[in-house]
Chains A and B, each alone.
Chain A
C-alpha cells in the first residue's frame, strides 16, 4: 500500500539554525499538510497546501515557517530560525481529495529536537 514517507526520522539542531523537514506524499494525492505534536500534547495543524499554494495555515505557522513543493514528489517544511519550543514530532500528510471527503494519510513523522 502506498505510504507517505518522511526524512529524517530524527533531527537534532541548535537554536537559531534552519531546518528542512522532507516528505514524499502519496503520488496521486493532491492535498498536502503539515501537523505537529509536542510531547504529551495534541496533534496540531500547521498548514495545508494545494495547487502549489498554501490553502490554510494556523497561528503557529508564522514567518519562521515555510512550505514548498520543489518538484513533483517532495513536500518540505522549513523552519528558518529554530526555537526551543519548536521541538516536536512533525507529521506530513496527504489526501487524494479535499479533506471533507478524503482521509488524511500520515507519515511516521520527524522528531525535531532543538537544543
Chain B
C-alpha cells in the first residue's frame, strides 16, 4: 500500500500568503515527519509529530495529525520566496499495530511549492 501521499502535487502562491499541504497514509504509524528538499539537495527535517499528538508548531510551520482519517497537513504561514522547495511527508513503516520498523521511512511523491516574490 502507498504511504504518505501528498496533495496538491504543486502549489503556486504569492509571498505573504499561507501554504497548506496535505498528506494521507494507509497504515498505522508511530510518527509522521515532514521534510523539505531544495532542488538537487538533501532532505531537511521540519517537524516530527507522534501518533498521540494532534498539532505541533515550529516557527511559521504548523502540522496537524488526524489518525482517525490517516491524514496530516503542513501549514506554512506568511510564506517567503525562500520557502520555494518540495515538501514531503514520511511515515514509519510500522504497518499494523505490533509491527516494528528499524528505519524505513516511506516518503510520498511530495508537493512542489513555488512562492513568487
Q: Classify the secondary structure of B's interface with A.
A: strand
Q: Which of A4, A58, A100, A103 contacts B30 (CB 8 A)?
A: A100
Q: Which of A12-20, A73-81, A105-113 contacts B (4 or more CB under 8 A)?
A: A105-113
With both beta carbons as reference points, the residue of chain A lying nearest to B3 in the complex is identified as A42
Of B42, B45, B93, chain A has the most CB atoms within 10 Å of the CB of B42
How many residues on the A side are at the interface (Cβ–Cβ under 8 A)?
Answer: 26
* Least CB distance, A104 to chain B, in whole angstroms: 6
| Distance, CA A43 to CA B42, complexed state (A) | 11
With both beta carbons as reference points, the residue of chain A lying nearest to B103 in the complex is identified as A48
Contact B107 A58 (CB under 8 A): no
| Distance, CA A101 to CA B51, complexed state (A) | 11
Contact with A along B77-88 (1 / 0, CB 8 A): 000000000001
New A-B contacts (4) at CB < 8 Å, excluding given A43-B88, A48-B104, A56-B101 = A35-B105, A45-B103, A45-B104, A107-B42
